[in-house]
Amino acid sequence: MRRFAGRRAVVTGASRGIGAAIAKRLAAEGAAVALVARTVDHHETLPGSLNETAARLSTLGATVGLIAADLTDPDARADVMARAKDALAGPIDILVNNAAAAMYAPMATYPAKRRRITFEVNVHAPYELVQQALPDMVAAGEGWIVNVSSATARHEKGPPFRESFTGSTTGMYGASKAALNRLTNALGRELHGTGVRVNTVEPRAAVMSEGAEALVGGKVTDDMIESMEAMVEATVALCCCDADRTGKVHVSLDLNDELGLTVMKLDASGPA
C-alpha cells in the first residue's frame, strides 16, 4: 500500500514508542515525515532517539526531517510547523500530535510544576501546532490532524470506585487529555466543510511503549494490553479518512473493527 505517497507528515514524540511506530508506518506507505522530539539524541532515562527513528525510516526510502523542540516551551514550539515545512520542502498534509507528558501522582498534593508541564505538552503544544498547520491545510482544501488521547480522560464512575493500581494518580494526565478531546471536537466542528479533518484516537488497552513500561511495567496483565500495531492501524486510518469523519474521539480497537481493518506490520509488508 502507498496511501501516503506524495504526502508530508509531522509526528511529535517520535523518538520512541507510539510516535516512532506511527512515523514508520506512514513512511512505509510513502509519506515524507518530519520527526519531532525534545532532542535528536537519547533521553536521559528512556531508550530511543530521533536519530534512531530516522535511520529506520531511511531504510524504507523515506524523506525524513528532524525537528528538535522542547514542547514545554512556547518559544521553542512557535516555529515547529514552519521548520517541518522547510525540512520536507512543502506544506504539511498530516499532523499527528502524539507527544505527551505523563506524570502520575495523587491529586491532593500534585506539584504545580508538573501540572504546568502536563498542560503545556498535552494541550497547549498540540493546539498551537494545529494553529500553525491550518493556513496551508485550509488553502489546500484538505488536511488530517490526529491528536493521540487516553482513556484516562473519561470520568471514573462511583462511589464505590473501582480498584486499580493507578487509583486517582492519572487524574491530571486525564484532565489534560479531556481538554485535548474537547478542543478536537470544537476544531472539527469549526473546520467542517474546509476539507480539514480533526480527530483524536486513544488505545482501548495499554500499549507497552518504553514510556508505558516505565510507568506501569509489571503491573498490567496480557488482557490489559493491545499491540502497538493495532494502535498504529487506527491512527493511520485517521490520517487518510474522509472529510465527514471529524471532531470525534475514537478508540483504537473499536475503530479497527468499525472499518474492518486488517492490522498490518509497521513496515506495511503484511498482516501483523
CB-based burial label for 240 (10 Å; 0-12, 13-18, 19+): middle
**Residue 110 annotated to the active site:** no
Q: Residue 99 and residue 34: Cα distance in Å, rounded?
A: 13
Which helix (H) or strand (E) element contains residue 135?
A: helix 125-140
Q: Which of 104, 110, 127, 173 is catalytic?
A: 173
Sign of CA dihedral 175, 181, 184, 186: negative
Nearest Cα residue to 46 out of 10, 12, 80, 13: 13
* Cα distance between residue 97 and residue 149, in whole Å: 9
| Residues labelled as active-site residues | 173
